[in-house]
Structure formats: C-alpha cells, structure tokens
Amino acid sequence: MDAANLVRMANGIGEFFSAMPDREEGLDGIADHVRRFWEPRMRRALLTFLEAHPDGCAGDVCLSPMVREAILRRREALMPAA
C-alpha cells in the first residue's frame, strides 16, 4: 500500500468530519469510517505508517492532527484481526 495515498484518503475523511460541531463526534466518525470502509490491509498499512512516524509525518506526507488523534485513540478497534 502506498502510504502517501492512504494519508491523502485519511485526510479527506478528516476534512469531512472536522466540520462537525462536536469534536469528539468528529474523531469517532473518522475512526469509525476507517474501520467500516477500509479493508484490513489498508488499516494495517496506516497503523504501520503511524508506528514508523509517531508525529504522523514522513517528509511532505503528513496526517492531519485530527486524523492522527482519531487513529491513535481508536487504534485497538482499527487493528485487523490476526
């Protein structure tokens, strides 16, 4: 999986949910969308990217702060079954 493409898609999801008036609801919405609609290998690749780059950035590829927070908070729920 191309990390840059996954980050771009995750940030797009984050843009949508960042418009919600309740930040907590937006964070949950981001993680829930990724959990429900991304296949396991995509979720695994995003989590691997975040493990390798805890600040969410690798060069010019950066997760938005809100997406990073959502993924970190719901990490266990996003981890695909082994």
Whole-model pTM: value is: 0.93
Largest Cα separation within the chain, whole Å, is: 36
Q: How far apart are CA 73 and CA 44, in angstroms?
A: 15
So what's the pLDDT on residue 82? 73
The residue extents of the domains of the chain are: 3-78
Provide the mean pLDDT of the chain.
Answer: 96
Q: Are 35 and 71 in contact (CB under 8 A)?
A: no
What DSSP letter does each residue of 24-37 carry, written as one string?
A: HHHHHHHHHHHHHH
58 strand-pairing partners: 61
pLDDT in tens, 46-80: 999 999 999 999 999 999 999 999 999 999 999 98
